[in-house]
Structure 1
Amino acid sequence: MPPRKTAKKSAKKKSARKKASSSANKRKNSKKSRKSSSWLPQVLTAPFLLINRLTDRLNFFIKWPLRLVLSFGFIFSSIGIIVGTFYFLRASHFDLKQVEEMPARSIIYASDRRTEIGRMHGDNRLLVELDEVSDYFTSALLAREDSRFYYHFGVDPVGLARALVRDIKDKSMTQGASTLTMQLARNSFDIQAKPGQGSALKSLDRKMLEIALAFRIESHFSKKEILKHYVNRIFWGHNMRGVEAASRTYFEKSAKDLTLSEAAMLAGIIRGPNSFSPFRSIERATSERDTTLARMVDNQFITQAEADQAKTEKLQIRPEDRRLAQGSYAMDAIRRDLDLILEDERIDIGGLTIITTIDHNIQKAAERAMEKHLRTVERKPGYNHQTRSQYQHYLKTAQPEKTKPPKYIQGAAVVIENRSGAVLAVVGGRDADESMFNRAKYAKRQIGSIFKPFVYLTAFNNGMQAQTWIRDTPLRPGEIKGAQRSWNPRNSDGKYYKYVTAEEALIRSRNTSSVRVGDFARMDRVHTTANDVGFTQKLPNTPAAYLGSWEATPWQVASAYTIFPNNGERYRPYLIQEIRNGDQVLYRNSKLVYSAASRGAAWETNKVLQKVAQRGTGAAIKSKFSSPAAGKTGTTDNYQDAWFAGYTTAVTCSVWVGMDQPQRTIDRGYGSTLALPIWIDIIKEADEVGYAAGSFNPPMAMKQARLCRWSAKRATKECEKLGSAYTTEAPADTLPGQHEFCPFHPSKAQPVNENKRAPRAIPVR
């Protein structure tokens, strides 16, 4: 078998050759791998080897220090190139057109479409060329913010080093070392690290990006262009941006007409525009002016004599009565409503014309009334809290960044036009600059007796009449459904009567009889009424809810009370009538109205509330306001909250007075003494400026009926015998049916001996 042996030998030889080839390839690849991996260390060490070679022949004491300096220099240079390249690439993605783009501000007008009450959104509307700005201001700006502006390329190494030292000492990365160019980059692209947000590393990252953007800006714009964009963009407090807007707002003049003193003040307050605003503290603004003048002298922009002369000039700031409502509570409410109406990107563009419902005269009158009467309260014996004057004195001496919120007595008011829901005025406190919290819309405070009319409204809607007799005696354990046996609310005057009419119980704000009215109306029905009139929060499921032992805002209270003059209808409250972009209408409000209560029940409650203003807890109205009005006072336990909510045929207004942290205001601090005087002043102004109060007319034909005072049903002969029958005139939808006779006194019944068993004051369910 020779051929087979030959084949086997041949196969063996081929296998051997393959193994040898594979082994050779492995050795070859291994050499290549070693060769390829050896170049990296060589490249990395080459600069250091070169440094060693260049310094090899030097003296030992010169050679090694020089090698260390050159080596570290090379390392840091390499890192700098890498970092610089990284941030240059990041900065290249930003569009430099944003530096020039400064959208117009949206102008907010009052309901008359002429009175400007503020501006919002956008960066600036009053753009100016640098030639239209006073030379005094440009000099003051450079002296205060960047004296080497014309000698650097976006970053000032001296200033940067100084800031880094401060940052290291303060253990933060907040000093900035910002040149005007860096500030322009920060404001144009919104890249600054906000205080308290992020780590120091993130802040450093933003600062490096800011530097890279500053270099790009310097390479793209001339120094004059950079300065122009800066003065048009910079923030000056009170929602103002740009030197022209600041000059017109603070001094009522153009930026080209600024004096040296005025220019120095504007430049001085840039570092803290809200804290150093002359609207808040003329002393602080003046101090910043003097500091700026001193720096102008140091940098040889002006002489010492010119600085001394400027310091003697009294700053003529725009009077308070001519200031725009930039930081007002009305503007706060408008801004929030606008955010709900327009999409975010549309708001940011700005340049809109916004027509609001605010009546400028009523708004100002409400603000004046609030401050006038609360200052009077602060002077009353027994007022033991901080006064606003004390707080203002404190602001003059406190550090801006460490100021505490005020603790003086506050108030809130909301005025609504009845037949539209248009909000005519919003006062959320005594001063928005001192406390921006809008109490009118967001302060939830216990409303107390202010809620009682809605309990009676529910009862009237379910068969009770204004002349129905109600027990006013102390509550008996187990008498009121859902009440704990120990719950025993008392009448505020400490007096109790065998019975009173429902009308009298509401006029005199009786607690025990009001709880019995609520018990008749039923908890679930009262909750439904509350939701229908605008109290959308969850009410407590206990009888204490009948007495208003829960919280609501003045905005909610005002809107809810509009159903009484509107005969049960409620219009959705709104602040913005129309939004325009030039001739294009972007939004126009459409009235939203619905029936929140039956017309008859609303009318009956309205009649009773008119009597509150005539002879009840709101009787002070009749001596100061001759037109028809109605309303209800409210005072919570320990005089913590004082309320008055009332209306004419034209407008409804709610007023709240109290402390921000619930506590006793003042002894006998009733709604009638603290809130009602403010309400009267506001309503009188509304009546005078066109919202005239008329007569309250019934919403439907009135009908007469003979009813029983105990049951509110048709009177029987036995009711007549007992003396409980009476004749009333009421809306037909509140009267019992023709065959709904008194169940307490059927015709064959005998008079009840009240000493043995008193009849129920209200119908049995």
Structure 2
Amino acid sequence: MPAKKKTAKKAARKSNAKRVRKSSQRSLAFRVAFAPFLAIGKVTAKWPTIVRWPARIALGSLWIGFFIFCAVVIFYGARAHSSKYDPDKITQMPARSIVYAQDGVTEIGKLHGDNRLMVSIDEVSPWFKKALIAREDARFYDHGAIDIRSLGRAVFRNVTQKKMEGASTLTMQLVDNSYAYNGKSIDGKLLEMAIAFRIEANYKKDQILEHYMNRIFWGHSIRGIEAAARTYFEKPASELTLSESALLAGIIRGPNTFSPFVDLQKAIDQRDTTLKRMVHYKFITEAEAEDAKNEKVKIRPVSRRITHDSYAMDAIRRDLDIILEEQEIEMGGLHIKTTINPELQKAAELAIEARLKEAEKDPSYHHQTRAQYLSRYAKTQQAPKYIQGALVCLDNRTGAVLALVGGRNADESKYNRALHGKRQIGSVFKPFVYMTAFDKGLHPGAWVRDSRIQPGEIQGAPRSWSPNNSDGTYKTLMMVQEALARSRNTSSVRIGDYCGIDQVIETARSVGFTGKIPPSPATYLGTFEASPWEVAKAYTVFPNQGKVVRPFIISEIKDSEGNVVYPGSGTISWSAAKQGAATSVSNTLQEVTSRGTASRLRSALDYKEVCGGKTGTTDNYRDAWFAGYTSSLTCAVWVGMDDNTKTINRGYGSTLALPIWAKVMKKAKDLGYPAESLKPNIPMQSVRLCRFTSQLATQGCEAHHSAYNAAIPVDLIPKHTCDNHPVRAQIIQESAVPAPPSRAVPVQEGQRPSRAIPVR
């Protein structure tokens, strides 16, 4: 046989075999697919015709339904096991972080997360558990993920009575509240059931109930039973009565509609319906239900339904945004311990309001008053234009912020002046100029000229620049400490010129002033801007004898399980000046409060404790400052208008800011913050110095009547004798030697504002 024919026959055989295999496979698949129908046909083959075909149709339909059911179970079971529907997600509920005062017990606010407070099932009243189950899922403990009986009844009524009736179990409702999907569609309902089965497989019934109670929405942004109990009834969930429990369970289906804050009678009607169901399911007796109905509903009064903001909370939020990760902020549930003393905070707020309300009555006050704002403009959400104040109070030892006020009312103005209010600080800055000079070798008992500044005298100043003294008077020579105590401008400029502008700016940076500081002689008089926060921080250098402490407001953060997630940064301090230099300034600032520009503190304000401080008033009475300290606390106060206009006539720091400081410090003493001696712990040594050079006095100094005895810190003792009056100096005529200035009498701040420069 030819090779061609053999090949063709072989190929034909292979093709026939392939067709046979395919036909066999199709036949097998057909027999498998239709085996149930073939079996039904075989079983019913000998049945009477009148029975056979209805039976075949019914049994075939059952098989098709079973097949579809299995396919649906597999399909939705697979979807439900996606990581998108992780069962652990029902435990992940954003909750409010609670902010506590320094005692860790007093609550001062809530922030972040949802308005929810997490509780365990054991921390919820048994009455509420029964009321919830009776109202939402009476057979909760008897069925699985779905309630077949309720589902069948709902389907029947929906079909026969065209009445929409739900059949969701508590587990299904928990799914609906925990995951994102379209729960209104058939696809969504089937997926909900599948996820519910997965939840039931992973959690016990009590755990499911606990997570559900913590997730429920109760209207007005309230989530969870604990937040609902505290918001509506001002009590924890563990103390809810039967009547209150039934009311809360009753309003779940329409929380905004049935809210007792919206319509109390509707809420009571829902309570009575819930009580009826509880009696029906034998959770309570008829007598208990009647007693509950007769109980008067006591909800939170209207006056306590508004949560007021505060400037302290604003500062806390600012720090939390730096400390926490985004996930921690979103989930909340943290316990945040702060440094705020709530009683001192309240005293500071009241002191500012009282003094500024009084200032608004001054005949020279030509601005909006707070009363006018509240009556005419508050509802328009316009920014207030009345006089404002700010305060920051720190613990000298640690830097803890004990009180922070950024304005008169945080609900009316969100602008936090304590943190962000950059205002010209004026004479409040002068102590740092003098501290720089003491660091360089000047001494408080030295003489400085107080006459008018002459053209070309001050390095870097325009020839025409000649700042005035606030009282319009000028002296020949004055002791350095007296110049600071009386806040003399011309003397202070000369002190600054002795140091040099670069050195003064370096000191300002070292004590914590971070803003722009012009390299101009006017800086010696505080013509740059800073916030009360910066001023308070800088002034800690004086009671701490050369060290500055960094302010902080958050001392510890714990998560919902009590684990410390932020232990606090603790005290951070740094050396900003020689101990002796800071001590010398501090000694003079104590004189300021007894016979200087803040002497009203002792007389009119009746504050007798040991303290130091400095007033500050900028041109045209735009800013009034007082920064002061005791052995325990440092406090900076600012008063002014947001638009930087004049406050009142003679609106000095001593008249506007000082009274606020005095009230706060009196309260601080009552709260246990002592105002003890500010005696330095550095050794002091008595030496004889020259008032002209601050160097060791020589016979020449004695001859010129410039020698004097001074007790000074050991780190400031000069190493050289006076080079202006060497030992062989010739005695000059006594009439040519200026007499030492007499001790100044107590003075008030200046009698008229400066016109030549913007600060006094």
Q: Distance in 1 between matches of 2:616 and 2:691?
A: 28
Residue of structure 1 equivalent to 2:638: 656
- Residue 564 of structure 2 corresponds to which residue in structure 1? 585
Relative distance call for 1:250 and 1:501 in structure 2 (3 A) is farther
Q: In the TM superposition, what whole-angstrom CA distance separates every residue of 1:659-696 from its partner, at most 9, and x where no partner exists?
A: 22211111111111111111111111111212101101
Q: Which residue of 2 aligns with 1:596?
A: 576
1:34 maps to: none
Secondary structure of the residue that 1:119 maps to in structure 2? Answer: strand
Structure 1 residues 390, 270: closer, same or farther in 2, change over 3 A? farther
Conservation of the 8 A alpha-carbon contact between 1:377 and 1:383: yes
Is 1:575 equivalent to 2:559 in the alignment? no
In structure 2, the residue matched to 1:607 is: 587
Contact persistence 2:97–2:112 (CA under 8 A): yes
- Tell me how far apart the structure 2 counterparts of residues 134 and 94 of structure 1 sit (CA, whole Å): 32
C-alpha separation in 1, matches of 2:182 and 2:375: 42
When normalised by structure 2's length, the TM-score is 0.66
Within a 5 Å distance, the mapping from 1:435-446 to structure 2 comes to 435-446=413-424
Instruction: Provide structure 1 residue ranges, at least 5 long, that are not aligned to the other structure.
Output: 1-88, 140-151, 153-183, 192-206, 272-284, 302-311, 757-765
SS at 2:448 equivalent: strand
Distance in 1 (alpha carbons) for counterparts of 2:611 and 2:360: 28
Residue equivalent to 1:317: 301
How far, CA to CA, are the matches of 1:542 and 1:411 in structure 2?
29
- Is 2:111 the counterpart of 1:120? yes
Task: Give the % identical residues.
Answer: 46
* Cα deviation code 1:256-288 (max 9, x no counterpart): 67989x99xx99x999xxxxxxxxxxxxx99x8
For residues 596 and 668 of structure 1, the distance between their equivalents in structure 2, rounded to whole angstroms, comes to 34
Correspondences of 1:55-204 after superposition (within 5 Å)? 95=85, 101-123=92-114, 124-126=116-118, 132=128
Of the candidates 427, 431, 442, which is equivalent to residue 453 of structure 1? 431
598-607 or 339-348: bigger deviation: 339-348
The 2-side partners of 1:480 and 1:133 are apart by: 81
2:166 corresponds in structure 1 to: none
Equivalent position SS for 1:497:
coil
Q: Which runs of 5+ in 2 are unaligned?
A: 1-78, 136-153, 155-173, 198-207, 274-295, 739-760
**C-alpha displacement of 1:487:** 2.0
Query: How do 1:156-305 and structure 2 match up within 5 A?
Result: 232-233=216-217, 236=220, 244-245=226-227, 248-249=230-231, 252-253=234-235, 289=262
2:468 matched to which residue of 1?
490
Question: What secondary structure is seen at the aligned counterpart in 2 of 1:461?
Answer: helix
AA at the equivalent of 1:616: G
User: How far off its partner does 1:295 sit?
Assistant: 12
Deviations 1:561-618 (A, max 9, x none): 0110111011221112222234433324332222111000000000000000111111
2:622 is aligned with 1:619: no
C-alpha separation in 2, matches of 1:528 and 1:596? 10
Distance in structure 1 (CA, Å) of the matches to 2:730 and 2:175: 94
The residue type equivalent to 2:524 in the other structure is Y
CA contact (8 A) 1:633 1:643 kept: yes
SS in structure 2 at match of 1:376: helix
Shift of residue 213 of structure 1? Answer: 12
Contact 1:714 1:741 survives alignment (8 Å): no
Counterpart of 2:541 in structure 1: which amino acid? I
After TM superposition, the structure 1 = structure 2 runs for residues 745-764 of structure 1, keeping only pairs within 5 Å, are: 747-748=729-730, 750=732
How many angstroms does 1:536 deviate by?
2.1
Separation in structure 2 between the aligned mates of residue 411 and residue 550 of structure 1, nearest angstrom: 19
2:47 corresponds in structure 1 to none
* Aligned residues of 1:185 and 1:213 also touching (Cα < 8 A): no
In the TM superposition, residue 328 of structure 1 has moved relative to its aligned partner by 1.7
After superposition, the Cα gap between the structure-2 partners of 1:735 and 1:106, relative to the gap in structure 1 and judged at 3 Å, is: same
- Asked if 2 retains the 8 angstrom alpha-carbon contact of 1:445 and 1:552, the reply is yes
Deviation at 1:409, TM superposition (A): 1.3
One-letter identity of the residue aligned with 1:494:
G
Counterpart CA distance in 2 for 1:518 and 1:209 is 74
Distance apart, 1:748 and its partner CA: 3.2
Distance 1:353 1:606 in 2: 39
SS of 2:586 mapped into structure 1: helix
SS in 1 for 2:602: helix
Q: Deviations over 1:210-252 (max 9, x none)?
A: 9999989987789x99x97897457847xx7557526524752
1-structure distance, mates of 2:466, 2:191: 74
Q: Does 1:480 align with 2:462?
A: no
Name the aligned partner's letter for residue 483 of structure 1. A
Query: Corresponding residue for 2:691?
Result: 709
CA contact (8 A) 2:396 2:632 kept: yes
Write out aligned runs for 1:737-752 (5 A).
Answer: 737-742=719-724, 747-748=729-730, 750=732
Partner Cα separation in structure 2 for residue 697 and residue 216 of structure 1: 79
Which residue number corresponds to residue 343 of structure 1?
325
Tell me how far apart the structure 2 counterparts of residues 426 and 499 of structure 1 sit (CA, whole Å).
41
- Partner secondary structure for residue 313 of structure 2: helix
Q: Does 1:392 align with 2:384?
A: no
The C-alpha deviation readout for 1:616-658, integer Å capped at 9, x for no partner, is 1111222422220110011111111111100001110001111
Q: 1:564 aligns with which of 542, 560, 567?
A: 542
Shift, 1:121, TM fit: 2.7
- Structure 2: distance between partners of 1:359 and 1:315: 30
Q: Which moved more, 1:599-608 or 1:431-440?
A: 431-440
The answer to whether structure 1 residue 331 and structure 2 residue 322 are counterparts is no
Task: Report the more deviating stretch, 605-614 or 580-589.
Answer: 580-589
CA distance in 1, matches of 2:645, 2:236: 48
Contact 2:182–2:188 (Cα < 8 Å) also in 1:
no
| CA distance, structure 1, for counterparts of residue 219 and residue 461 of structure 2 | 58
Change (3 A) 1:391 1:416: same
Q: 2:413 is matched by which residue type in structure 1?
A: S
One-letter amino acid matched to 1:342? L
Which residue identity lines up with residue 482 of structure 1 in the other structure? G
Matched letter for residue 731 of structure 1: P
Instruction: Classify 1:748/1:650 alpha carbon distance in 2 versus 1 (closer, same or farther; 3 Å).
Output: same
Q: Distance in 2 between matches of 1:746 and 1:234?
A: 94
Q: Out of 588-597 and 100-109, give the one that drifted further.
A: 100-109
- Between the aligned partners of 1:712 and 1:485, the Cα distance in structure 2 is 29
In structure 2, C-alpha distance between the alignment counterparts of 1:628 and 1:106, rounded to whole Å: 40
* Per-residue deviation, 1:525: 0.6
Cα root mean square deviation, aligned = 4.9
Q: How far is 1:716 from its partner?
A: 3.0
> Is it true that 1:357 corresponds to 2:314 in the alignment?
no
The total of aligned residue pairs comes to 586
Q: Structure 1 residues 295 and 360, CA, compared in 2 at 3 Å: closer, same or farther?
A: closer
| Pairing 1:378–2:360 present | yes
**1:712, CA displacement in angstroms?**
1.6
Q: 1:395 to 1:101 in 2, by over 3 A?
A: farther
2:500 to 522, 528, 552: 522
Residue 334 of structure 2 contacts residue 558 of structure 2 at CA under 8 Å; is this kept in 1? Answer: yes
In structure 1, how many angstroms separate the alpha carbons of the residues matched to 2:529 and 2:495?
Answer: 21
- Paired letter, 2:112: H
Please tell me the residue identity of whatever aligns with 1:116. E
The answer to whether the Cα contact below 8 Å between 2:546 and 2:582 also exists between their aligned partners in 1 is: yes
Q: Is the 8 A contact 1:185 1:214 kept in 2?
A: no
Task: State the alpha-carbon separation in 2 of the partners of residues 362 and 466 from structure 1.
Answer: 35
Give the corresponding residue for 1:555: 533
* Residue equivalent to 1:79: none
Alpha carbons of structure 1 residues 313 and 577: separation in structure 2 relative to 1, 3 Å:
closer
CA distance in 2, matches of 1:365, 1:717: 57
Give the AA of the match of 2:98: I
Change (3 A) 1:293 1:392: farther
- 8 A Cα contact 2:213 2:224, kept in partner: no
Distance 1:443 1:232, change over 3 A: farther
Q: Deviations over 1:35-89 (max 9, x none)?
A: xxxxxxxxxxxxxxxxxxxxxxxxxxxxxxxxxxxxxxxxxxxxxxxxxxxxxx9
Structure-2 separation of matches of 1:186 and 1:440: 46
